[in-house]
Structure 1
Amino acid sequence: MADLTDLGIADLRDGVRDGSFAAVEVAEAFNARVVGAKALNAFLVETPDHALTAARAADAARAAGDAPKPLAGVPIGMKDLFCTAGVQTTAASHILEGFVPPYESTVSQNLWDAGAGMLGKLNMDQFAMGSSNETSYFGNVISPWRRKDGGNAPLAPGGSSGGSSSAVAARLCPGATGTDTGGSIRQPAAFVGISGIKPTYGRCSRWGTIAFASSLDQAGPMARDVTDCAIMLEAMSGFDAKDATSLQLEVPRWEAHLSPDLKGKRVGVPKDYRVDGMPSEIEALWQQGIDWLRDAGAEIVEVSLPHTKYALPAYYIIAPAEASSNLARYDGVRYGLRDLPDGANLQDMYAATRADGFGDEVKRRILIGTYVLSAGFYDAYYTQAQKVRALIARDFEKAWEVCDVLLTPTAPSAAFALGEKSSDPIAMYLNDVFTVPSSLAGLPAMSVPGGLDKDGLPLGLQIIGKPLDEQGVLNAGLAIEERAGFLARPEAWW
């Protein structure tokens, strides 16, 4: 039998169901894999007992002849943004170090109800603010990939869901949760050669997920292929009365309706996504993706999204503004870090706690957000950014009149070395240039691996869909996946 850690979600689920192997064997194999990969720094907390308890329940249910749960026998990784009852949850920030929630996030509870087990809590950019997983208080996550002939410089796994991307790519878990505010599922998925989907805003509950920008944050799965993403997304999604933005809709059966046949579908190629200085390899992969979708039966049409060029600046006003409001609750009074200098009053404690507890990137975004919301600047910045957001959403609505999905690159480059862009925030923010517009519009979007660059590093293609059309996005992703035949994986050095 092949190593169980080489199997994805669908194969693990089916193997446990038909008795090819026991769920406990699966949990033990992945627990051992996690223990042996400390060098990646992907996990902040390991929870082998959680995975084994879920596995024993799956094996007992099968022995009793009970109907199997959707994810019975499948252990996963949980991004440390999701509150997990009795397990430390920090959002990779010093200010929450030691915080153990007494409650479970809705998304994680949905996954446990579906039979999944938890291998541990995954490292991430602090409060989900970053594109390289270099802002974590607990150290950088390192990509399992290396440049083919470019030395051994450690590479960024993308962010903010860098622990999730690194763990899935390195076979530490078959799937992991991520969150996507401006591209934090899709960009890291592209950097490490896996798939990841951000569903329509409201598909997955935000309750119990530590907030960054509440009008943008959305949970989604990261896994090795499109089918595994569909399986996991079904388990994660659903209406939640505790989240006012949750969509009161039945969860579609995405896995059952997967099809790579795109006959009768129209794929839009936005001319506005051809940015100056884009590497020729990204251009070539984009054209290859167009050819693959045409081969799948789709008609290719050019579309225009004229306000795309304003998406990034609008995002970096709206998201920090919401972050400055959301992060005001971290004051050292009720939970988490408390820094109380001798003779300090309440204001001194607030200042000391936040100065010590928040990282530089978090502070930068809080300052930006507080500035754009301040008297005299609210209308000039925040109100204008919201107007631009409405125009971007309108651009997409017009595009849907002539096409069913859009195809773009996921990121403007392959993975870069750690430290390569950390001194230049603007260069770092530009990583999100292709992912931010669909986030501002609340649309479903997915990254699937398309090939390797000249250094042997993965490159991703992004599919953007109409509101609530995750099926269309998944199907187009499957069409690319089947034609790309992407089987590359990093050589173990860790």
Structure 2
Amino acid sequence: MKFHAAFAVALLATACTPSEAPVERWKRYDESGAIAANAVHENVRMRYQLVQSKFQDKNLLWAPFKAALDAFGEDQYAELAPLVLEQDIPTLQGHVASGRMTYEDLTTFFLYRIRKLESDSSTTLHAVVALNPDAIEDARRLDREREQATHPIYGMPILLKDNINTAKLPTTAGAALLADHTPPSNAFIVDQLNANGALILGKVNLSEWAYFFCDDCPLGYSAVGGQTLNPYGRGKFETGGSSSGSGVAVAANYATAAIGTETSGSILSPSSMNSVVGLKPTIGLASRTGIVPISSTLDTPGPMTKTVVDNAIVLDAMHGADKADAITSEAPVQRNFLKAISAGTLEGKRLGALTELLEGDSLYAKAVDALRASGAKVIEIIPPEVSLNGFLSVLNGDMIRDLPHYFNTAAAPEFAGMDVAGAMAFNRRDSGLHMPYGQARFEGIVADPVTNSGLDSLVAMLHEEGRSFFDEPMATHGLDALISVNNYHAAYAAVAYYPGLTVPMGYSAKGEPAGLTFYVPSHEEERLLGLAAAYEAASKQRQAPLLR
């Protein structure tokens, strides 16, 4: 295909060379050539109308760190790179314990890397929308208090999807309406991470309003952050979404981990498409309080990491009961996600593989071969045909109620009383700036006549349909898990309340990443992590993207 080569050439033509400008200085570039190059992309969602954000001056992101980053320099970056890039959390903690680096070194390395790559139009991924101005000082404090550490997440820099409230940083959901919105308090999961010693490095881009705003628009686009690009092929491959920036940032080694959110596929999709590990937990395992919602029925946050062990560590640090989110009280209290990793095995495990995928996806077939070689019993299945009619109405019915609740209880006071209709009216003030791809899904929300009683009936019906999709083959064949690809069956898992975890399973002939996705019944995350860790150890498919 010629479109991706032309896209890359168009971006490269505008790149700053070291002799032209300092590495840290971002300059807006002429993106018309890059947009024209993608105008004939075979995937209509990748026919971009714009790439750069019209709201963001990237130089402001790293301005608080200029002196520290200039002092850090290329030599120290190159010295630390082998200790940091592609390393899991236990390895990083080992380096700190041995004195090879500090948490300040680690944090500064990631900030330097973000500035280095995001300042250059030939390498920028448009993944980061905010950075914690106190990140280096926070790291110094964590170094001083390291003796008090009680959790392996301690000192690890984490990025958050920009629909997760942070009291020190804007939370925008990617929307122009919220471009200057800083909420009064953190989301519950952010407080959980902080309590366990994590370092919040910043916020990452997302598909605007968690991809429930425009129709058939590019994944990874938001008015605030612009167009996130896939590090395995900028302008060539989709980023997945809606946790696009989370997947891209982890793949690009911008942090040790990121947090995403999912209603239906929004963690699994960008994780698989950026060759990282993503977990959509059982709804209620992690709190939704302080997260811009789509659906209180189906929303959940979850960890996105380079390895399964890191995923378990982050999940352990963020989960917990929250009085403000009643469903969290239904989750089992005693969990041991890390023990599940060490105990994970494929020997004797019964896994259901979908016949249609075995026949049509060579990477999936190779993954099944690897599972069998590791002792798993893989059974071909054809799941029952079920109907997801009404799924969209559940999201419509929830969001028209849940978004005003967020504005009234978790947003800055000036947004009290805001709702979907109000957001639509704001966008119409400047459609080119606020909604270049339209707002068809918002229009669908206000047009949907679903009532409260009708919504409850739809949720119950869809839950039974989703359970049938998984439960029948699981029971018939005595399966430990069902295996799929990417987010292909995420909607069924969403309504069935099944958790899912995707692990890198390789790359297409064109270089596009794909993930093997495991599904298990509700609250069986330990089983999920154990199976995924065993497959990861047997396959070792993740390869870092070719970035500087």
Specify the TM-score bucket, using the shorter chain as the normaliser: 0.7 to 0.9
> Pairwise CA RMSD of aligned residues?
3.1
- The reply to whether residue 242 of structure 1 matches residue 242 of structure 2 is no
Contact 2:258 2:305 in 1 (8 A): yes
Q: Deviations over 1:273-313 (max 9, x none)?
A: x27xx994xx21222222222222222223443245x33x5
| Equivalence for 2:471 | 397
1:368 CA displacement: 2.4
Q: CA 1:110–1:333 in structure 2 vs 1: closer, same or farther (change >3 Å)?
A: closer
SS at structure 2 position matched to 1:449: strand
| Equivalence for 1:182 | 264
Contact 1:55 1:72 in 2 (8 A): no
- The reply to whether residue 105 of structure 1 matches residue 187 of structure 2 is yes
Q: CA 1:173–1:67 in structure 2 vs 1: closer, same or farther (change >3 Å)?
A: closer
Distance (Å, rounded) in 2 between the aligned partners of 1:254 and 1:260 = 11
Amino acid at match of 1:335: E
SS at structure 2 position matched to 1:365: helix
- The reply to whether residue 47 of structure 1 matches residue 139 of structure 2 is no
| Equivalence for 1:422 | none
Contact 1:318 1:386 in 2 (8 A): no
1:316 CA displacement: 2.4
| Equivalence for 1:417 | none
Identity of aligned residues (%): 26
Greater mean alpha carbon deviation, residues 346-355 or residues 124-133: 346-355
**1:334-483 correspondence to structure 2 within 5 Å:** 334-336=413-415, 352-353=425-426, 355-356=428-429, 359=435, 363-374=439-450, 383-384=457-458, 386-401=460-475, 402-411=478-487, 433-483=488-538
SS at structure 2 position matched to 1:367: helix
Contact 1:338 1:353 in 2 (8 A): no
SS at structure 2 position matched to 1:460: strand
Contact 2:184 2:412 in 1 (8 A): no
Distance (Å, rounded) in 2 between the aligned partners of 1:279 and 1:362 = 38
Amino acid at match of 1:34: I
Q: CA 1:48–1:253 in structure 2 vs 1: closer, same or farther (change >3 Å)?
A: farther
- The reply to whether residue 34 of structure 1 matches residue 114 of structure 2 is yes
Alignment equivalent of 1:74, drawn from 132, 156, 165: 156
Q: CA 1:354–1:481 in structure 2 vs 1: closer, same or farther (change >3 Å)?
A: same
Amino acid at match of 1:366: F
Alignment equivalent of 1:254, drawn from 330, 337, 340: 337
Alignment equivalent of 2:101, drawn from 4, 18, 21: 21
How many residues end up aligned between the 2 structures? 448
Q: Deviations over 1:424-459 (max 9, x none)?
A: xxxxxxxxx422111111111011111110111211
Q: CA 1:438–1:374 in structure 2 vs 1: closer, same or farther (change >3 Å)?
A: closer
Distance (Å, rounded) in 2 between the aligned partners of 1:361 and 1:217 = 24
Q: Deviations over 1:294-341 (max 9, x none)?
A: 222222223443245x33x543232232123333466999535999xx
Q: TM-score when scaled to structure 1? A: 0.82
Contact 2:128 2:245 in 1 (8 A): yes
| Equivalence for 1:424 | none
Kindly indicate whether structure 1 or structure 2 has the higher relative contact order, using CA contacts under 8 Å at least 6 residues apart.
1
Contact 1:54 1:116 in 2 (8 A): no
Greater mean alpha carbon deviation, residues 438-447 or residues 257-266: 257-266
Distance (Å, rounded) in 1 between the aligned partners of 2:324 and 2:438 = 27
Alignment equivalent of 2:144, drawn from 60, 74, 78: 60
Alignment equivalent of 2:365, drawn from 284, 287, 296: 287
Distance (Å, rounded) in 2 between the aligned partners of 1:81 and 1:480 = 32
Distance (Å, rounded) in 2 between the aligned partners of 1:386 and 1:348 = 27
Amino acid at match of 1:36: K
Distance (Å, rounded) in 2 between the aligned partners of 1:137 and 1:279 = 41
Greater mean alpha carbon deviation, residues 350-359 or residues 218-227: 350-359
SS at structure 1 position matched to 2:227: coil
Contact 2:165 2:185 in 1 (8 A): yes
SS at structure 1 position matched to 2:399: helix
| Equivalence for 1:134 | 221
Q: CA 1:350–1:483 in structure 2 vs 1: closer, same or farther (change >3 Å)?
A: closer
* Structure 1 gaps, min length 5: 147-151, 340-345, 412-432
Contact 2:150 2:196 in 1 (8 A): no
Q: Deviations over 1:213-253 (max 9, x none)?
A: 11111111001011111111110111111111113532512
Q: Deviations over 1:97-146 (max 9, x none)?
A: 21111111111111111111122111101121167112444311111112
| Equivalence for 1:263 | 347
Amino acid at match of 2:93: R
Q: TM-score when scaled to structure 2? A: 0.75
- The reply to whether residue 315 of structure 1 matches residue 398 of structure 2 is no
* Structure 2 gaps, min length 5: 1-78, 119-123, 213-217
Distance (Å, rounded) in 1 between the aligned partners of 2:490 and 2:185 = 32
| Equivalence for 1:489 | 544
| Equivalence for 2:41 | none
Distance (Å, rounded) in 1 between the aligned partners of 2:502 and 2:482 = 12
1:410 CA displacement: 1.3
